């Protein structure tokens, strides 16, 4: 780790771009430039000396690479714009896959297709204004609920919690939510019922909890019977049989962020005993 | 140019004696030209990003809110509205604070990619906790760390370096309040991390053209140490997850 740190500092100081492959999982800082794999042998460290012979040196293979959050294209390189750990997802087909920066931020920026928990702040005519924690409230049509028609309005009051999905989310426009999927079914979305507890966590923790192989959720599920909703905007709604159990669950989930697997296992074991 | 290299060497020998690994390391060492540095991020719960920055006895707490909702009167249709508020330790902000706010705002504007979040506001609130010299540089460093913590997209990092020239023309980096008072001239620079280019400079007192170049070269050499400190500090923050 210490070695990596000095190396990284050197490269930052020297202004040399590092190869994206070599810094996977490491912390990258805004302003750093990353080289994509196909450029490594051409420009990368030590590339000039021991470069293998290529059959067609003039033709550079074009690989399709997707820039995720925290990265931007800068000429033929990637420019880091956020601090965090660099991640990479291998492509299922050909191409270079997806690169992104996994950062620990609290402010949500709407993304199309994200499932979020919002709070209804106003009813005006045929749309609801929903606070999702972004820079402006999202709009939600009263027709975007399962079974809603012009006659049959959904029962939504100001202050209700909504679990929905973004259909329009771009930087220049007001985001728009719906509570139905493309087939017109609710599919779990809609107004969240009475009781329960809503709390906020960092966006990084939500992503960790929603990862397909997350152990925390399975362990929590074994502890008490519960209902839980995760919003990609950093909000979690949880409800258990009693208020005490609800509070315990909320506290565990909040604390999970900075616990190691062993620490977490200990706490779960202690709770299971009581 | 020759002078620049000289300064660089001098700082290296003074500060780069051995890399420190403590919890609050900084670019310091025996007889160091920079004071002890310390930084902590994400220490406030309500802002989207926060940082406290310590340079010797000078300490500044920064909070960043954004990209957040913006008043219609301040809305800019193609980029984010950047606001910097500097709160003094006691009393209300006056003309000196307003002037510093403006300098910090312009520095942030140069590195923040505001075009990615149009019609939003990014607010940086800086609270002076104690002022023992090089306050503006400390404010700049605190603002940068808080912006990074908030995840605001930036094209580069930036840092602030203060130099003081005393009556004999000796250069003091990161001066204390006493050194600043006795100095013939005090120069503060903001530099970016990619090319160490000048983002902002503000000066007070009399100095020659050559001295300005000396100070700038010294600040550029020092900025490397500050950026290294930034990196170590951020790596510590991300080591927990």
Sheet strand arrangement including A33-35? A18-19, A33-35, A77-80, A71-74
Q: Is the pLDDT of residue A1 over 50?
A: no
A81–B153: do the CB atoms touch at under 8 Å? Answer: yes
State how far the alpha carbon of A134 is from the alpha carbons of A142, B47, B56, B123, B196, in Å.
Answer: 21, 14, 38, 15, 34
Q: Is the pLDDT of residue A70 over 50?
A: yes
Q: Is the pLDDT of residue A199 over 60?
A: yes
State how far the alpha carbon of B112 is from the alpha carbons of A217, B16, B158, in Å.
Answer: 37, 31, 10
Q: Which helix (H) or strand (E) holds A179?
A: none
Does the CB of B79 have a partner CB in chain A at under 8 Å?
no
Preferred mutation among B116, B228, B231 to probe A, highest tally of A CBs within 10 A = B231
Q: Which residue has the higher pLDDT, A225 or B16?
A: A225
Predicted confidence band of residue A41 (pLDDT cuts 50, 70, 90): low
Give the start-end residues of each E strand in chain B. Answer: 37-41, 49-55, 58-68, 81-87, 121-130, 158-165, 171-173, 185-192, 198-205
B228–A12: do the CB atoms touch at under 8 Å? Answer: yes
Rg (CA), chain A: 23
Q: Chain A residues with CB inside 8 Å of B151's CB?
A: 70, 82-84, 103-107
Sheet strand arrangement including A27-28? A27-28, A84-89, A97-102, A65-67
Of B67, B121, B232, the CB nearest to A109: B67
> Nearest CA of chain A to the CA of B90: how many Å?
30
B116–A5: do the CB atoms touch at under 8 Å? Answer: no
Asked whether A36 and A20 are in contact (CB, 8 A), the reply is yes
B238–A27: do the CB atoms touch at under 8 Å? Answer: yes
Where does residue A97 fall: left (phi above 0), alpha (psi -120 to 50 degrees), or beta otherwise?
A: left
Predicted confidence band of residue A8 (pLDDT cuts 50, 70, 90): very low
B157–A30: do the CB atoms touch at under 8 Å? Answer: yes
Asked whether A148 and A142 are in contact (CB, 8 A), the reply is yes
A107–B66: do the CB atoms touch at under 8 Å? Answer: yes
How high is the pLDDT of residue B185?
96
Helix (H, G, I), strand (E, B) or coil at B124: strand
Residue of chain B minimizing CA distance to A202 = B48
How high is the pLDDT of residue A39?
63
Q: Is the pLDDT of residue A7 over 80?
A: no
> Nearest CA of chain B to the CA of A96: how many Å?
24
Which of residues 128 through 187 in chain B touch A, CB cutoff 8 A?
Answer: 148-151, 153-157
How high is the pLDDT of residue A19?
87
Q: State the greatest distance between any 2 C-alpha atoms of chain A, in Å, as a whole number.
A: 75
| Token pair in block for residue B187 | 């120069």
Q: Chain A residues with CB inside 8 Å of B149's CB?
A: 83, 105
Distance CA B41, CA B127 (A): 15
Q: What is the DSSP secondary structure assignment for residue A52, as one 8-state letter?
A: P
Q: State the greatest distance between any 2 C-alpha atoms of chain B, in Å, as a whole number.
A: 53
Distance CA A111, CA A169 (A): 5
Task: Choose among A203, A216, A18, A190: nearest CA to A102.
Answer: A203
How high is the pLDDT of residue A79?
94
How high is the pLDDT of residue B86?
97
How high is the pLDDT of residue A48?
42
Which of residues 158 through 177 in chain A touch B, CB cutoff 8 A?
Answer: 171-172
The ipTM value here is 0.84
pLDDT < 50: residue spans in chain B: 1-32
Sign of CA dihedral B10, A5, A263, A215: positive
pLDDT in tens, A102-134: 988 999 999 999 999 999 999 998 999 999 999
Q: Chain A residues with CB inside 8 Å of B193's CB?
A: 12, 29-31
B117–A81: do the CB atoms touch at under 8 Å? Answer: no
Distance CA A183, CA A189 (A): 13
How high is the pLDDT of residue B103?
97
**Mean pLDDT, residues A178-197:** 93
Cis peptide before B67 (omega within 30 of 0): yes
């Amino acid at each position: 780790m210490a070695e990596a740190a000095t190396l990284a500092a050197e490269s930052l100081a020297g202004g040399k771009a590092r190869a994206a492959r070599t810094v996977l999982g490491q912390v990258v800082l805004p302003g750093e430039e990353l080289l994509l794999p196909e450029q490594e042998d051409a420009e990368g460290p030590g590339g000039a000396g021991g470069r293998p012979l290529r059959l067609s040196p003039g033709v550079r293979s074009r690989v399709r690479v997707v820039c995720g959050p925290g990265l931007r294209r800068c000429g033929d390189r990637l420019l880091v714009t956020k601090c965090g750990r660099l991640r990479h997802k291998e492509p299922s087909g050909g191409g270079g896959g997806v690169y992104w920066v996994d950062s620990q931020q609290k402010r949500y920026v709407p993304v199309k297709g994200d499932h979020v928990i919002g709070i209804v702040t106003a009813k005006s005519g045929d749309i609801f204004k929903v606070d999702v924690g972004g820079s402006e409230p999202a709009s939600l049509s009263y027709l975007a609920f399962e079974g809603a028609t012009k006659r049959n309005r959904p029962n939504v009051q100001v202050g209700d919690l909504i679990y929905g999905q973004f259909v329009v989310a771009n930087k220049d426009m007001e985001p728009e939510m719906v509570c139905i999927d493309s087939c017109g079914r609710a599919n779990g979305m809609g107004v969240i019922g009475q009781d329960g507890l809503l709390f906020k966590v960092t966006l990084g923790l939500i992503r960790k909890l929603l990862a397909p192989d997350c152990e925390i959720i399975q362990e929590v599920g074994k502890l008490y019977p519960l209902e839980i909703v995760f919003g990609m905007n950093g909000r979690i709604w949880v409800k258990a049989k009693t208020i005490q159990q609800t509070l315990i669950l909320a506290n565990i989930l909040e604390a999970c962020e900075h616990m190691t697997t062993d620490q977490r296992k200990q706490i779960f074991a202690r709770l299971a005993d009581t | 140019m020759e002078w620049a290299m000289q300064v660089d060497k001098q700082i290296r020998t003074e500060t780069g004696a051995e890399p420190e690994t403590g919890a609050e390391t900084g670019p310091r060492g025996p007889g160091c030209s920079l004071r002890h540095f310390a930084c902590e991020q994400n220490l406030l719960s309500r802002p989207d990003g926060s940082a406290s920055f310590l340079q010797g006895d000078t300490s500044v707490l920064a909070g960043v809110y954004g990209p957040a909702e913006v008043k219609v009167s301040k809305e800019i249709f193609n980029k984010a509205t950047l606001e910097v508020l500097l709160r003094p330790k006691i009393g209300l902000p006056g003309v000196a604070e307003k002037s510093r706010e403006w300098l910090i705002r312009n520095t942030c504007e140069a590195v923040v990619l505001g075009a990615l979040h149009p019609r939003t506001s990014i607010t940086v609130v800086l609270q002076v906790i104690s002022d023992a010299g090089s306050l503006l540089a400390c404010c700049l460093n605190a603002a940068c760390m808080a912006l990074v913590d908030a995840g605001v997209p930036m094209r580069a990092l930036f840092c602030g370096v203060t130099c003081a020239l005393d009556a004999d023309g000796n250069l003091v980096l990161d001066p204390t309040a006493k050194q600043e008072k006795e100095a013939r001239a005090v120069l503060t620079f903001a530099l970016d991390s990619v090319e160490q280019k000048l983002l902002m400079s503000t000066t007070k007192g009399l100095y020659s053209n050559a001295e300005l170049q000396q100070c700038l070269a010294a600040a550029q050499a020092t900025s490397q140490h500050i950026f290294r400190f930034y990196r170590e500090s951020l790596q510590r923050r991300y080591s927990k997850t």
